[in-house]
């Protein structure tokens, strides 16, 4: 009796694992496939300012990311991001510290760049990423604030994610 229960339990586990693997693996026909180059860990520094960005690979129709900026005074700001499909479009959801969330829709999606925009947003109205070789990415925010155009670039270098060897 105990052997039959163990065998049935193992069979259910195997079937569940197979189903789960299919359910969470990236869909081959998903437009998000083009953005998988954005997954991984990035960092940049300027003076005592250090910016880190980490994004999980495509799974379950989404890419989840986080970023933080630190200085010698400690944590300056942080942001959680989610890239996913919504209404047939690729959307970049930004959840910055101390500010309301904002959604930016992909306007241009290429094999090594993406530009998201939200013309109605206060600032920025544009968020972009461009892969520059195998180990660097330039991210930027752009738009008008106080009637003036302002662009801020983040020239990142790709680094191993913490916990990876």
- pLDDT value at residue 164: 61
pLDDT digits (tens, 9 = 90+) for 3-40: 444 444 444 444 444 444 444 455 567 899 999 999 99
162, 37, 55, 41: which is closest to 110 by C-alpha?
A: 37
- pLDDT value at residue 27: 54
Mapping DSSP onto H, E and C, the string for the chain reads CHHHHHHHHHHHHHHHHHHHHHHHCCCCCCHHHHHHHHCEEEEEEECCEEEEEEECCCECCEEEEEEEEEECCEEEEEEEEEEEEECCEEEEEEEECCCCCEEEEEEEECCCEEEEECCCCCCCCEEEEEECCCCEEEEEEEEEECCEEEEEEEEEEEECCCCCC
Q: Taking the model in full, what pTM does it have?
A: 0.81
- Enumerate domains of the chain plus CATH numbers: 27-159 (2.40.128.20)
- pLDDT value at residue 25: 52
113-117 and 40-46 beta bridge pairing: unpaired
pLDDT digits (tens, 9 = 90+) for 75-105: 999 999 999 999 999 999 999 999 999 999 9
Q: In this model, does residue 162 exceed pLDDT 90?
A: no
pLDDT digits (tens, 9 = 90+) for 103-150: 999 999 999 999 999 999 999 999 999 999 889 999 999 999 999 999
């Amino acid at each position: 009796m105990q052997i039959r229960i163990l065998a049935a339990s193992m069979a259910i586990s195997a079937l569940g694992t197979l189903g789960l693997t299919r359910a969470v693996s990236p869909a081959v026909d998903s437009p998000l496939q083009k953005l998988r180059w954005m997954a991984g860990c990035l960092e940049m520094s300027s003076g005592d300012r250090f910016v880190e960005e980490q994004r999980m690979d495509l799974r379950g129709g989404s890419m989840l990311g986080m970023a933080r900026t630190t200085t010698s005074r400690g944590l300056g700001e942080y942001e959680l991001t989610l890239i996913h499909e919504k209404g047939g479009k690729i959307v970049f959801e930004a959840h910055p510290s101390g500010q309301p969330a904002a959604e930016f829709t992909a306007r241009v999606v290429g094999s090594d760049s993406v530009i998201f925009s939200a013309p109605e947003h206060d600032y920025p109205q544009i968020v972009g990423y461009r892969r520059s070789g195998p180990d660097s990415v330039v991210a930027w925010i752009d738009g008008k604030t106080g009637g003036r155009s302002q662009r801020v670039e983040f020239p990142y270098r790709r680094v191993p994610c913490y916990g990876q060897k």
